[in-house]
């Protein structure tokens, strides 16, 4: 299968004139098509920085980053904007929905920006509404929704343009346990049935147990990784907890 993410010797340094902080150091990472990869680590480990670099929101200090075979470091801001819209879907903890638009209008916004015909937009919304169980709320506004409904709407918006890569930043962080499970079940189904490639930053071992592979960062470096393989989700959950304990704390300490 094709590599969707390839990073080589990626380093990110903040600051100047002798006062610097190294957020990431010599990161080599490959994510193949159809993987569901989690990123975990203590606060300050660099996981959010890494996600921002892959999202093209920030630029690395050195190293190479390729997404879907494209070198993103040499792009202009205009090129990056187009690339994000066409290749990357984002799911944020704070949803980033527009309150003046209905659920349906929020979902099809990426397609509207790319001037997709209305008939195709309607067809794709209908398809996604069934995947995420939101058909009954398409005409509602974000202020009328629960947290779980907002996050499923945000996830639907992230995938409607059929991006090569879905980036999720703590997508369950603001959800109750049932809503979190519903969202994770939907993402897992998307990964298994549609072969979607997903990279998810999370502090939650339960969320990470849905992944096919989990990477652990520590002090800006890749510390270790776990591969789920044939393990059950419950067994994989225990393995994730075991690694988190190596960091010196339980699941609630590793944020």
Say how far apart CA 145 and CA 139 lie, in whole Å.
11
Note the pLDDT of residue 74. Answer: 83
pLDDT band at 114 (very low <50, low <70, confident <90, very high): confident
Consecutive H or E run containing 65? strand 62-67
Model pTM score: 0.89
Note the pLDDT of residue 173. Answer: 85
Domain span at residue 79? Answer: 3-254
Write down the mean pLDDT value for the chain: 90
pLDDT in tens, 238-251: 999 999 988 764 44
Q: Which residues pair with 141 in a beta bridge?
A: none
The yes-or-no verdict on residue 234 having pLDDT over 80 is: yes
Output phi, psi for 214, to 5 deg: -130, 130
SS (H, E, C) the chain: CCEEEEEEEEEEEEEECCEEEEEEEEEEEEEECCCEEEEECCCCCCHHHHHHHHCCCCCCCEEEEEECCEECCCCCHHHHHHHHHHHEEEEECCCCCCCCCCHHHHHCHHHHHCCCCHHHHHHHHHHHHHHHCCHHHCCCCHHHCCHHHHHHHHHHHHHCCCCCEEEEECCCCCCCHHHHHHHHHHHHHHHHHHCCCEEEECCCHHHHCCCCEEEEEECCEEEEEEECCCCCHHHHHHHHHHHHHHCCCCCCCCC
Which CATH number belongs to the domain containing residue 192 in this structure? 3.40.50.300
pLDDT in tens, 87-111: 999 998 788 899 999 999 999 998 9
Q: Whats the size of the chain, residue-wise? A: 255
pLDDT in tens, 148-171: 899 889 989 998 988 989 999 999
Domain count, the chain: 1
Over residues 195-217, mean pLDDT: 95
Say how far apart CA 10 and CA 154 lie, in whole Å.
29
Output phi, psi for 9, to 5 deg: 55, 40
Over residues 26-52, mean pLDDT: 93
Q: Mark out the alpha helices in 3-146 (DSSP H runs).
A: 47-54, 77-87, 103-107, 109-113, 118-132
């Amino acid at each position: 299968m094709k590599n969707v993410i390839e990073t080589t010797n990626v380093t990110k340094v903040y600051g100047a004139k002798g006062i610097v902080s190294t957020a990431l150091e010599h990161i080599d990472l490959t994510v193949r098509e159809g993987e569901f990869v989690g990123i975990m680590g203590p606060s300050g480990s660099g996981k959010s920085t890494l996600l921002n670099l892959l999202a093209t929101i920030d630029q690395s200090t050195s190293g190479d980053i390729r997404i879907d075979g494209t070198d993103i470091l040499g792009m202009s801001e205009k090129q990056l904007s187009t690339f994000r819209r066409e290749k990357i879907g984002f799911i944020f903890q704070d949803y980033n929905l527009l309150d003046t638009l209905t659920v349906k209008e929020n979902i099809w916004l990426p397609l509207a920006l790319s001037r997709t015909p209305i008939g195709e937009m309607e067809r794709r919304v209908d398809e996604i509404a069934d995947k995420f169980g939101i058909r009954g709320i398409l005409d509602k506004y974000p202020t009328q929704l629960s947290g779980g409904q907002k996050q499923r709407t945000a996830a639907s918006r992230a995938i409607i343009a059929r991006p090569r890569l879905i980036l999720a930043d703590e997508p369950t962080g603001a959800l109750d346990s049932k809503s979190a499970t519903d969202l994770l079940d939907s993402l897992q189904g998307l990964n298994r049935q549609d072969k979607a490639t997903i990279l998810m930053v999370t502090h939650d071992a339960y969320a990470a147990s849905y992944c096919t592979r989990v990477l652990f960062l520590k002090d800006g470096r890749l510390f270790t990784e776990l591969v789920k393989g044939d393990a059950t989700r419950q067994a994989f959950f225990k393995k994730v907890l075991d690694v988190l304990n190596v960091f010196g704390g339980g699941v609630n300490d590793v944020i």
